[in-house]
Amino acid sequence: MPDYSNCPPRLILASSSRYRRELLERLCIPFDVIVPAVDEAPLAAETPEATALRLAEAKARAVAANLAGDARALVIGSDQVATYDGLQIGKPGTHEKALAQLRAMRGREVRFHSALCLFDSGTAAAQTVDVITEVRFRDLPDADLDAYLRAETPYDVAGSAKSEGLGIALLEAIESDDPTALVGLPLIALTRMLLAAGYPLFGAR
């Protein structure tokens, strides 16, 4: 295991998501944000888990590939895919698509795959994991779903359910090993990876 006690590596979040940035800020460690150039479309016949894991690693590797110099960096990539009845649910982008998503999911069990990759640019080692969250949606009327969307505008969130805000009222139950996974960045898994990589999690201030 590398010894970073004297000179910790640069930590980079490979994401355009403000939600992931806000989650990573909870750890009170220094990091940079670089937006990766990655096509997030799923491949034909690809499972939701495979899509999330592939894109999480692709984002981390894309950013690492463009780093200048020989300094070691740990790059965090993450991707989330929601699914029910074998169908993948992505970011809606518009109010109409978000409303259609919520109508389809009400009263149902939905599985969220929150994939994470920590890529070490110095060793080219990639740690990956898929953290699964099971969510049961309430059977709410269209008027409530529409009001929620206009209040939160969660059009950049997979499944349109922003659980850290008013979206929690859409849900009957959440089952997960990591409460931050549903928001988009599984911090329990990430801190485990950082410690395994030798990152001074409690001393990098």
pLDDT in tens, 13-72: 999 999 999 999 999 999 999 999 999 888 888 899 999 999 999 999 999 999 977 789
C-alpha to C-alpha distance for 117 and 140, rounded to whole angstroms: 35
Taking residues 144-156, report their average pLDDT.
95
Banded pLDDT at 5 (limits 50, 70, 90): very low
Provide the CATH number for the domain around residue 188. 3.90.950.10
- The reply to whether 205 falls in a domain is no
80 assigned to some structural domain: yes
Model pTM?
0.89
pLDDT of residue 7 exceeding 90, the answer is: no
Residue 204 lies in a domain: no
Residue 141 lies in a domain: yes
97 within some domain: yes
**84 within a domain of the structure (yes/no):** yes
Domain that holds residue 123: 10-196
Phi/psi of residue 77, nearest 5 degrees: -115, 145
Cα(161)–Cα(37) distance, integer angstroms:
25
Residue-level pLDDT at 204: 58
Query: 51 phi and psi, to 5 degrees?
Result: -60, -50
Residue 179 forms part of a structural domain: yes
Indicate whether 201 belongs to any domain: no
Structural domain count of the chain: 1
Of 3, 32, 79, 144, which one is the catalytic site residue?
A: 79
pLDDT at 152 over 90: yes
Q: Is 156 a catalytic residue?
A: no
- Tally Cβ neighbours within 10 Å of residue 30: 10
